[in-house]
Amino acid sequence: MDLSFPPGYPPLQPGPLARFLPPLEEGSIARVLEDYGKPDDLILDPFGASPRLAVEAGRSGRAVLVATNNPVTRFVLQHTVQPFTQAELQAALARLAAAPKDDSRLEPFLLDLYRTECVRCGALVIAESFIWEREAEGPSHKVYVCDRCNYAGEGPATKADWERARILSRRGLQHAIALEQVAPAGDPDRRHAEVALSVYPGRALYALITLVNKLEQLVFEPRLKAAAQALMLSAFDSVNSLWGYPEGRSRPRQLIASQRYREDNVWRALERAVRTWALDDPGVQGTIWPEDGLPSPGVVAIFPGPVRELVPTLTDDRARFLLTVLPRPNQAYWTLSALWSAWLWGKTATAPIKGALRRRRYDWAWHAGALRTVLAGLAPLLDPEATVMAFLPEAEPGFIAAALAGFDGAGFRLEGRALRLDDRQAFLTWSLAGDSRIPPALTGEVQQRMASAAIGALLARGEPTQYPLLHAASWCELARERQLAHLWQSEESHILSAVGDILEATLVDREIFDRLGRFVEPESGLYWLTDPSDANQPLADRVEEIVLETLRQGESFTLVEVDDQVCQTLSGLLTPDRRLVHACLISYAQEDPQEGVWRLRSEDDPERRAVDCQEIRHLLAEMGQRLGFTVQDKDRLAWLDEQGRQVYVFVISETAVLGAALEVGEAASLTFVLPGGRAALVAEKARRDPRLRQWLQNRVGVVKFRHVRRLAVEIGLSRENLGTRLAIDPPAHHDPQLPLL
């Protein structure tokens, strides 16, 4: 059931509308297709939420069929598969710039809407953006560059800026046109369209509708017109009030203006959009289904509609591979998509998603039901032995629960999982369940299964764990047993809350689970076991060992290669977060920024470290004898007093594997002696594990090699001051020489 998580890397080109589309890592799809399926498989993506999935699958040589109902997402997908050239985009921008407008050209007309004065020299300048407080009647600040005095930055808005904004905020012809194109008079959705329009400052809406009207008047070649539409689509997104300031890019879910937002210059937004849409050619062909027939290898066929309408177009051809990125509910994106589609392509294009204007909230229960409905209709499209896989970027408990409940309720059995929940990523696989009959479990049995899954996850990881992982472990257990399908029949829309209540009742059992810290909500803090005697070695220690072993097996590695090795070794619920992998890598290796690879540090060569460890052992033995202790040199170096009692026990190690510090009994007497390069890694492990953090705070738990060398030649060292002298160089301290002076 446990799978290796397929790691990727942040994309060099996030692409258009990236803040609304799933943040799928580049290379993840290609990595999956190396291990699953066959080259001649037809891959079906029923949700079409991620253009990157289609591109990577097509680049792998597979035939890909994508259904996408949202016209905006479909447009992005089409022009990610077959991107515009920079020349095409610049030509489209130039045509717009040169379009006549009020005895001038469109470019200076739009720029003049953002005219202001430099607060330093008074020169007329064009603002890049204005900053607004959500409830204010005018902007509070402006961002601009002054060519006269060379000032570039932010300045306070003036009364003149307020007056210009006020004039353009009045509802006029442009506002009426914007509303009419979406919902004409008498349309029941008109008031909902009004609400959607309210996220645009008046000046921005005036400029956008001016652009839309001009685009309709101009004669373009089809390709250049599409390029102009692409630029305008990015401008639609750039100039609304969902952009917070100064926090920069965000991923809004609700159509609510940020408390403090920026109003971008519309023409500048068009200019920036050229870089956004000038994507590298992926070398993939695109086509429309079903007019051009079943796609051949390396071709991405796009079905312009929901997957339920795709089913009748396929007769004897069945997909053997369903690979998708599950969409996450986003009221803001779907509502804006309805606006944007109407402005660019008219009411007909908007009709399939116009209902999004009415929906104000998408909760997880709704999402589970929607997934169940869509997935239940997929059986005719799938081969009975089809592989079914889904990525869940931005995975959180509600999203995972909705996905598992939706698939199980639609007749799919969970087969595999890889959960990287610290990074909010999940990778799940299913199979068609067929006519399997599994008797429903009673509530008590469900709770017992969830408790057993949570306990198993904690024992396997060997360290305190956050709620999302225990939640996922418990839900996966029910999905594996097909119990969620039975719960659909009894609970219907309340399935998520019903199972959530059972899990909450499970985790509050203090005879089994130990809650670390004082937290009220079950989703907060860390969970551990009251009896951890059967727990595995802490996960953080295992990650460190794997990273070190990997580095010593070759000359150089990329971060993704090391990460992939860790994920292959620690699969399923054990998949560690990338921050921990990176901390281990930094502890042992150096990055070559030019080549983008990591190499083991020379001082961490195994032979050299063995010599270092032997030197430190020898110094500690001499130091103990000099201080009058009896030195016992076995696996661990012990200093004994006159009664034969262990006063200090030293573990000399080249690694920061500190699991022994958490063992009951001898932990209080242990002192780990490590290379100084492990300090940051020890700090990272302590951040993750409050048990280790408390152990480090209560005593001298870690001493660095270099500190031992200094103490070995310190003349004033004695039994009486030894504890103090050892403690002056904690793991997080960077310069132990200062206290010694």
pLDDT in tens, 702-715: 999 999 999 999 99
Distance CA 700, CA 708 (A): 13
**Residue range 534-557: average pLDDT?**
96
**Torsion sign over Cα 166, 171, 177, 182:** positive
Distance CA 467, CA 239 (A): 38
Report the pLDDT value the prediction gives residue 189, as an integer from 0 to 100.
93
**Residue range 317-343: average pLDDT?**
93
**Residue range 429-435: average pLDDT?**
86
Report the pLDDT value the prediction gives residue 295, as an integer from 0 to 100.
87
Report the pLDDT value the prediction gives residue 202, as an integer from 0 to 100.
93
Confidence of residue 16 (pLDDT cuts 50, 70, 90): very high
**Residue range 712-719: average pLDDT?**
92
Report the pLDDT value the prediction gives residue 605, as an integer from 0 to 100.
95
Of 390, 449, 450, nearest to 425 by C-alpha is 390
Distance CA 468, CA 395 (A): 9
Distance CA 245, CA 132 (A): 9
Report the pLDDT value the prediction gives residue 323, as an integer from 0 to 100.
97
pTM: 0.92
Angle at 328 (CA atoms; ends 561, 563), nearest 5 degrees:
10
Residue 543 has pLDDT above 60, yes or no: yes
Report the pLDDT value the prediction gives residue 736, as an integer from 0 to 100.
41
Confidence of residue 76 (pLDDT cuts 50, 70, 90): very high
Distance CA 739, CA 580 (A): 31
Instruction: Find residue 244's DSSP bridge partners.
Output: 261
Confidence of residue 504 (pLDDT cuts 50, 70, 90): very high
Q: What is the pLDDT of residues 238-274, one digit of tens each?
A: 999 999 898 765 788 899 989 999 999 999 999 999 9
Please name the residue that has the structure tokens 């997402």.
73
Residue 437 has pLDDT above 80, yes or no: no
Report the pLDDT value the prediction gives residue 379, as an integer from 0 to 100.
82
The residue that leads in pLDDT, 115 or 251, is 115
The one-letter amino acid at 193:
A
Distance CA 548, CA 653 (A): 13
**Residue range 430-442: average pLDDT?**
80
Q: For residue 246, is the peptide bond before it cis, meaning its omega torsion is within 30 degrees of 0?
A: yes
Token pair listed for 31: 């990595």
Of the chain, the percentage scoring pLDDT greater than 90 comes to 78
| Phi, psi (degrees; rounded to nearest 5) at 643 | -90, 5
Report the pLDDT value the prediction gives residue 492, as an integer from 0 to 100.
59
- For residues 394 and 22, is the Cβ–Cβ distance under 8 A? yes
Confidence of residue 40 (pLDDT cuts 50, 70, 90): confident
Q: How many CB atoms lie within 10 A of CB 151?
A: 17
Mean pLDDT value across the chain? 91
Residue 586 has pLDDT above 70, yes or no: yes
Residue 656 has pLDDT above 80, yes or no: yes
Instruction: Find residue 393's DSSP bridge partners.
Output: 425
- For residues 148 and 118, is the Cβ–Cβ distance under 8 A? yes
Confidence of residue 509 (pLDDT cuts 50, 70, 90): very high
Q: What is the pLDDT of residues 182-231, one digit of tens each?
A: 999 999 999 999 999 999 999 999 999 999 999 999 999 999 999 999 99
Confidence of residue 331 (pLDDT cuts 50, 70, 90): very high
Confidence of residue 493 (pLDDT cuts 50, 70, 90): low
Report the pLDDT value the prediction gives residue 375, as an integer from 0 to 100.
94
Strands 382-393 and 425-432: antiparallel
